Amino acid sequence: MLEDIIQTKRRAIYIAEIGMNHNGDMETARAMIAAAAGAGADAVKFQTFVPELMNSPYTADLLERGSDHKRDTGIVDFFRSFVFSSEEYRELKGAAEGAGLVFFSSVFDTDSLSLMEGLGASLYKLASSEVTNHPLIEAVAETGKPLILSTGISTEEEIGMAVELFRMRSEAELVLLHCVSLYPTLPEQANLARIPALAGRFGVPVGFSDHSREAVAPMLAAALGARIFEKHFTIDRFHECPDKDISCAPDEFARVIESVEKAVAMTGSGEISYGSAESGTARAARRSLFARRHIPRGAVVREDDLVALRPGVGIPVYGMKQVAGKRSRVDIPAGAIIKKEHIE
């Protein structure tokens, strides 16, 4: 189970998504890991990719004109500036584990998956862009390790195919994350009701990858069943980085944890019966059957011989019809509580 890997004493799991916010700088990445630990994160997540396997050099032409004639390596060059080597990732993994955090990554190609496997990563994340990337899902499944799968830009049918594919090839835990791939996500776009809908449809735990700037969003997600939370993380509010607009500074991340813990506690278990903490209130406020007047020994008890009074420490009022019509074994004084042993 994921909880066996990401151990926490709290009610939910909190992942600080460093992603590419380190800007390819090791010192910044190390500082972010330390800040995430200080803010209370349970895990830090990076993004690992081979730039040449991420985008076609014709991306801009295809998106703008629908043709693949004009070559432009700008997007590949952009992603190249965020790449760490295997040894650098090994150092970051050691820093995370030294700070008590689980280290893992979103992988975007099988080469990057192999890199993380070489480091002994204990779980994987796939972005919602990879829900339709079946070879990559198969490769992750074959590691036998848990997968966290974002579902933002995916249809129900596409998510279903990905879930089935993973389950066919792995018995490891699969967790879906609800997210909306808009940066930032506006309140009316959040669609948090998708969390229980995904859980009911696919029968797996569903967490929340929050791209909004709304403090209430994680709390509402918790009330709707999310117990795994991913927030983009930055070293401070002024740090220039790719996901600046949707990233939490350490103090904001700590407040997310505090608010979600309260929300989960307030949501409770959903048990319909009242809790043990209310038993004192129940004893004092509920009603029991008492003798309205003196009931002689051997007399047949009538309903009008009984009155419902507090406290609720005797026969509940709904037992009146089981008491009425029975004979009294003893003399019952007016005002006395009716006990089971008083009645035949």
pTM: 0.89
Q: Are residues 221 and 281 in the same domain?
A: no
Shared domain check, 117 and 63: yes
Domain containing 336 equals 276-342
Residues 109 and 254 in one domain: yes
Do 166 and 284 lie in a common domain?
A: no
* 285 domain residue, yes or no: yes
**Residue 310's domain is classified under what CATH number?**
3.90.1210.10
The answer to which of 174-178, 193-197, 234-238 has the lowest mean pLDDT is 234-238
Considering the domain architecture, whether residues 122 and 261 belong to the same structural domain is answered as: yes
Q: Read off the pLDDT band of 81 (50, 70, 90).
A: very high
* Whether residue 332 sits in one domain with residue 255: no
233 and 162 together in one domain: yes
Could you tell me if 290 and 211 lie in one domain? no
pLDDT, tens digit, for every residue of 135-160? 999 999 999 999 999 999 999 999 99
The answer as to whether 3 is a domain residue is no
Residue 244, both tokens: 């600046």
Q: Across all residues in the chain, what is the average pLDDT?
A: 95
Is the per-residue pLDDT at 1 higher than 80?
Answer: no
Whether residue 201 is found in the same domain as residue 333: no
CATH number at residue 187: 3.20.20.70
Tell me: the pLDDT tens digits for 223-282? 999 999 999 999 998 899 988 889 999 999 999 999 999 999 999 988 898 888 899 999
222 and 311 co-located in one domain: no
**How many domains does the chain fold into?**
2
Residue 2 in any domain: the answer is no
| Percentage of the chain modeled with pLDDT above 90 | 88
